[in-house]
Amino acid sequence: MAPWHDRAGLGRALARVIHVFSLLIAAIVLALPRAATAGDIPTFAVDASWPKQLPNNWILGQVGGITVDWQGHIWVIHRPRSLTDDEKGATLNPPRSKCCASAPPVLEFDSDGNLLRSWGGAGEGYEWVGREHGIEVDERGFVWVGGNADNDNAILKFTLDGKFVAQIGKIGPSLGSNDTTQLGKPAETAIDKEANEIYVADGYGNRRSSFSTRAPSPTSGTGAPMATSRTTTSRDPTTPRRRRPSNSPTPSTASSSPMTGWSMSATASTTASRCSRRTAPS
């Protein structure tokens, strides 16, 4: 065999070896974990084992909200009334099946999916919402929940264990965006820790721009806020604006409603509401 034939065969063999090693190195690199960069697109996979199986044959209905608190615990609010009779057959009279029953509306889980707390529903001293929607937990240990049924014009405040603390607004027919006694199917809430305020997206039913408390209010012996705050109404953007003489005073109204201890001021420029509660001076 001619020497150039030997050189050609050796070159082809060397090329094959290099190709195999390149493939091996690429496979190793892809298999190794790497640090995420700013331009990476995150990938997600469903964890079918989370949360862990609930006790008492409980199941969840439609989930109306989920949030993570300062401890890393996951809070879920769901809609028990969304379950069909087939799904909640064990609760029917007579029972239709051995399974299942609705879990309480509010549930707290740790990051591993273990159930830590569960509570919610109708109780004494407050009006539970008709269709659960939205949940927020602040760093002071209070849970805020809302609803978006037709008459769900309030948000509720509870302790972590489900003890009722306060109700802002009321469950009942909407009185419009200019009303200062209730919300309008609030969509969601967010907490401003530094300002000690809660922001409410009051836009499903109302066209609210802001909702806030400026002055502290004393409380009654039961801890319920008393009607001492002063409020300013918002304007419904569907209502034609009327001219007001430049020397006439700005109208305001005093609130003596389920929102007492809280006050509102609003314009028609945004759909976010802001409310806060300050400790009364001694």
Per residue, the 3-state secondary structure of the chain, as one string, reads: CCHHHHHHHHHHHHHHHHHHHHHHHHHHHHHCCCCCCCCCCCCCCCCCCCCCCCCCCEECCEEEEEEECCCCCEEEEEEHHHCCCCCCHHHCCCCCCCCCEECCCEEEECCCCCEEEEECCCCCCCCCCCCEEEEEECCCCEEEEEECCCCEEEEEEEECCCCEEEEEEEECCCCCCCCCCCCCCCCEEEEECCCCEEEEECCCCCCCCCCCCCCCCCECCCCCECCCCEECCCCCCCCCCCCCCCCCCCCCEECCCCCCCCCCCCCCCCCCEEEECCCCCC
User: What mean pLDDT comes out for the span 99-122?
Assistant: 97
User: What mean pLDDT comes out for the span 145-171?
Assistant: 93
Band (pLDDT 50/70/90 cuts) for residue 63 is very high
pLDDT in tens, 231-246: 333 444 444 444 444 4
Band (pLDDT 50/70/90 cuts) for residue 95 is very high
pLDDT in tens, 252-274: 333 334 444 454 544 333 444 45
User: What mean pLDDT comes out for the span 108-113?
Assistant: 97
pTM of the full predicted structure?
0.67
Check residues 39 and 200 and name the one with the higher pLDDT: 200
Check residues 1 and 21 and name the one with the higher pLDDT: 21
Give the tokens for residue 73.
Answer: 């615990």
Give the model's pLDDT for residue 2. Answer: 52
Which one, of 95, 96, 53, 105, lies nearest residue 75 by Cα?
105
User: What mean pLDDT comes out for the span 22-37?
Assistant: 69
Residue 116: CB atoms within 10 A of its CB come to 13
pLDDT in tens, 120-140: 999 999 999 999 999 999 999
Give the model's pLDDT for residue 194. Answer: 81
Q: Answer whether residue 200 shows pLDDT above 80.
A: yes
Give the model's pLDDT for residue 166. Answer: 93
pLDDT in tens, 171-191: 988 888 777 778 888 888 888
Q: Answer whether residue 117 shows pLDDT above 80.
A: yes
Give the model's pLDDT for residue 247. Answer: 47
